[in-house]
Structure 1
Amino acid sequence: MTEVQTPLRTESDLIGTVELPTDVYYGVNTVRAAENFQLSSSRIEQFPELIEALAIIKQAAAAANRDVGALDATIANAIIAAAQDITAGQLHDQFILDMIQGGAGTSTNMNANEVIANRALEHLGYAKGDYDVLHPLNHVNMGQSTNDVYPSALKLALHKMTGTLLTNLETFRKALRAKAEEFSSTVKMGRTQMQIAVPMTLGQEFGAWATMIERAATGVKRVRFDLLELNLGGTAIGTGINANVGYRERAIEQLREITGINGISSAPDLIAATADTQIFADLSGALKRVGLTMSKIANDLRLLSSGPSGGFGEVNLPARQAGSSIMPGKVNPVIAEAVNQVAYQVAGHDAAISMAVEAGQLELNPFEPIMARGLFDSIALLANASTMFTEKCITGITANTQLMRDVVEGSAGLATVFSPVVGYKAATALAVEANETGAKVTDLAVAKGLLSRDQVEQLLNEALAL
């Protein structure tokens, strides 16, 4: 049986020539990078937001170069059509490179240039690789450098992804707030340093968690706005070398028109914007805060649901799966545990991103690819975790109301509530006797004539603002 040979085309670069299948849209530079960088399981094709952001920038650049008279309209319109194909979801499988790569993202930029060039050639009726007609660098990359394209695309992608995260966090916050209302009159003991402290309601506890999530989300919102300041037009180091007069301003205008985001702006100092990647550290820090806040809530819920008979047992988490292969009937807080692990990974990404941001030299930081991979992963993890936490845990939580009430009434912590009326010394004596004898502070206070039953109930209600 004769083996069918795949048709090949030849492309060359400064290193030499390569043969590649005629049906692929990437070219020689992408092939080189694919051979060099085989480091992780993360490929650009897994991040549609980045691919679409690259295409949007190439579309805006082509339109801007056309508008300032630097690029033939026929060529520019073919590039625009190819870029629009990509933003519509086509050809994402042609972005084959590892997210981790040397060269400050040059390989990714070249991958985009080649795919768009070859798709544009098809729009013009030419074969892939006919670069004498339309070239990946001379035309698709006109007036650009990786050093302004890659970070600008990264920022636009992150802006979109954080929008999804914030939507999910708001749903999570609302679920916590709904539980706060549901448990608004459910009395329990608050704890500090793992010891009984003073009374509160379970609703207040959930309400505090909702506020924490709201504050963490606000941090992401602040950084998200700053992502819209781009260095596009600065080219290699921010001086704008090789960009035509008027191109930078028109490219930014085109980006606003294409995306509908009026907040997109040009950085006031393009050299600083090209060298400085602190914005990515800021975003990573905000994401870490979200992760740590979610993890704190998960920790609290694991404690409050612990036992259930031998632990706190104050709330019941929804049973999601059998907890043991050896212990029948055991159910573990698996959703909360998964949230904890997401937070640990986000913190790990933050450490790597911080090191990469610090390590940039002079006019460029070449380590943006690892920042991109870490940020994309952190956002996706947190967005998924917040949805999982909401749907598979928070909304199904129930309270063991009587158990908590019994703990409150039997707790020496009530002495704090009585202290303003009976005095600190008498309240201390009540607490000590309650701890030593196991008697209820409420019963002791009434028996010693310090308070009446009505006063006990009134003080408790006042303390809880019920």
Structure 2
Amino acid sequence: MMDAVPMTMGQTFATFEYQVSNALLRIDDTLPRLLVLPQGGTAAGTGLNAPPGFDGLFCATLAEATGLSFAPSPHKFEGMAAHDALVEVSGALNTIATSLLKIANDIRFLGSGPRCGLGELLVPDDGLTSSIMPGKRNPTIAEVLVQACFQVIGNHQTITLAGASGNFELNVAKPVLIYSLLQSLRVLADSARVFSRRLVCGIDVDRERLATNVDQALLAVTALNPILGYDRVAQITATALRDRVTPRAAAIALGILDGDEYDRLVDPAVLARGSASR
């Protein structure tokens, strides 16, 4: 976790929002294949002894009861020997868990502190404190989501192996596949809901801390590279780091820029917009 160029907290949360939006799309993308059912395949997919039209009647009855557009599988051998649609759902959940794990950890770190951490986010108090250190608060809600994501990612490995164990026209590993998939659905939905309600909805930013961090940001001077050249900008950075001053103060002390020039050339808001500002 090393210093880099400035960005806005809005950009951070827009990244999270985009990940979650894609997560919803990934789930939606799996639904058409989940609605294709092999019922009526009977023995190994042959349809032996099934009444004529049973598959269509079954799907129509189920569709009427659920409001979902179930349809008979056109290839019942595949539907019984393999469960690729279920593995696909687990793959989507695995990707979502990966995204949520990143989001939860980023929020944990951005809210760390209050004195020795990053402390840029103010995380809602969950009412719990350390059993050893009085008053110490931990990001327990985020930690719950992190552990749920671990479970889903681990379950995906089980589901993948179970899905690959459909030998010829029968998959005897379907019980563990279904158990793991249902568990993934439940723990991911429950933990995401709790994370949203008890943490995300109450998050705020520490504006004073953010302002201090922006003021002290060493690598904002990257904007000066096209003007001063890499080596002179590196001199400013090294001086600011050595003398424990801001890059602005270092540039002035070195006689490279005056304050007005620095403020005009190194505008954190413009830097955060990047190429979009050009």
TM-score, length-scaled by structure 2: 0.91
> How far is the alpha carbon of 1:464 from its aligned partner?
2.1
1:251 to 49, 58, 64: 58
Query: 1:217: which partner in 2?
Result: 24
1:323 to 118, 129, 142: 129
Q: Distance in 2 between matches of 1:343 and 1:450?
A: 50
2:233 to 410, 416, 427: 427
Relative to structure 1, the CA distance from residue 254 to residue 432 in structure 2 (aligned partners, 3 Å threshold; closer, same or farther) is same
2:104 to 298, 306, 318: 298
> How far is the alpha carbon of 1:451 from its aligned partner?
5.5
Q: Do 2:56 and 2:71's aligned partners in 1 also have CA atoms closer than 8 Å?
A: no
CA offsets per residue over residues 101-160 of structure 1, 9 Å max, x none? xxxxxxxxxxxxxxxxxxxxxxxxxxxxxxxxxxxxxxxxxxxxxxxxxxxxxxxxxxxx
Query: 1:462: which partner in 2?
Result: 270
Q: Distance in 1 between matches of 2:58 and 2:258?
A: 76
2:5 to 198, 201, 215: 198
Task: Give secondary structure in 1 for the equivalent of 2:4.
Answer: strand
Pairing 1:288–2:83 present: no
Q: Distance in 1 between matches of 2:59 and 2:82?
A: 20
> How far is the alpha carbon of 1:243 from its aligned partner?
0.9
Paired amino acid for 2:13:
F
Matches within 5 A, 1:115-264: 194-262=1-69, 264=70
Task: Give secondary structure in 2 for the equivalent of 1:413.
Answer: helix
> How far is the alpha carbon of 1:275 from its aligned partner?
0.6
Q: Distance in 2 between matches of 1:199 and 1:359?
A: 50
CA offsets per residue over residues 62-111 of structure 1, 9 Å max, x none? xxxxxxxxxxxxxxxxxxxxxxxxxxxxxxxxxxxxxxxxxxxxxxxxxx
> How far is the alpha carbon of 1:291 from its aligned partner?
1.5
Q: Distance in 1 between matches of 2:226 and 2:43?
A: 69
Q: Do 1:412 and 1:434's aligned partners in 2 also have CA atoms closer than 8 Å?
A: yes
Q: Do 2:217 and 2:247's aligned partners in 1 also have CA atoms closer than 8 Å?
A: yes
Matches within 5 A, 1:439-450: 439-447=245-253, 448-450=255-257
RMSD over equivalenced CA pairs, Å:
1.8
Paired amino acid for 2:45:
G
1:370 to 153, 168, 176: 176
Q: Distance in 2 between matches of 1:226 and 1:454?
A: 61
Q: Where does the alignment leave 5 or more consecutive residues of structure 1 unmatched?
A: 1-193
Paired amino acid for 2:270:
E
> How far is the alpha carbon of 1:395 from its aligned partner?
1.2
Q: Distance in 2 between matches of 1:245 and 1:303?
A: 61
> How far is the alpha carbon of 1:457 from its aligned partner?
5.0
Q: Distance in 1 between matches of 2:122 and 2:195?
A: 14
> How far is the alpha carbon of 1:371 from its aligned partner?
1.2
Q: Do 2:155 and 2:180's aligned partners in 1 also have CA atoms closer than 8 Å?
A: yes
Looking at CA atoms only, which structure, 1 or 2, has the larger radius of gyration?
Answer: 1
CA offsets per residue over residues 197-228 of structure 1, 9 Å max, x none? 11001111111111111112221111122100
Instruction: Return the structure number with greater helix share.
Output: 2
Q: Distance in 2 between matches of 1:431 and 1:410?
A: 11
Task: Give secondary structure in 2 for the equivalent of 1:209.
Answer: helix
Relative to structure 1, the CA distance from residue 279 to residue 327 in structure 2 (aligned partners, 3 Å threshold; closer, same or farther) is same
CA offsets per residue over residues 237-282 of structure 1, 9 Å max, x none? 11110012232233333333333223x2222211112111122111
Task: Give secondary structure in 1 for the equivalent of 2:137.
Answer: coil
Paired amino acid for 1:315:
L
Q: Do 1:422 and 1:450's aligned partners in 2 also have CA atoms closer than 8 Å?
A: no
TM-score, length-scaled by structure 1: 0.56
Q: Distance in 2 between matches of 1:284 and 1:461?
A: 41
The size of the alignment, in residue pairs, is 272
Query: 2:152: which partner in 1?
Result: 346
Query: 1:379: which partner in 2?
Result: 185
Paired amino acid for 2:48:
I
Query: 1:394: which partner in 2?
Result: 200
Query: 1:184: which partner in 2?
Result: none
Q: Distance in 2 between matches of 1:403 and 1:246?
A: 68
Q: Where does the alignment leave 5 or more consecutive residues of structure 2 unmatched?
A: none
Task: Give secondary structure in 1 for the equivalent of 2:170.
Answer: coil
Q: Do 2:220 and 2:271's aligned partners in 1 also have CA atoms closer than 8 Å?
A: no
> How far is the alpha carbon of 1:461 from its aligned partner?
2.4
Q: Distance in 2 between matches of 1:292 and 1:384?
A: 16
Query: 1:415: which partner in 2?
Result: 221
Relative to structure 1, the CA distance from residue 281 to residue 410 in structure 2 (aligned partners, 3 Å threshold; closer, same or farther) is same
Q: Do 1:230 and 1:265's aligned partners in 2 also have CA atoms closer than 8 Å?
A: yes
Q: Do 2:214 and 2:268's aligned partners in 1 also have CA atoms closer than 8 Å?
A: no
Q: Do 2:6 and 2:217's aligned partners in 1 also have CA atoms closer than 8 Å?
A: no
Q: Do 2:248 and 2:259's aligned partners in 1 also have CA atoms closer than 8 Å?
A: no
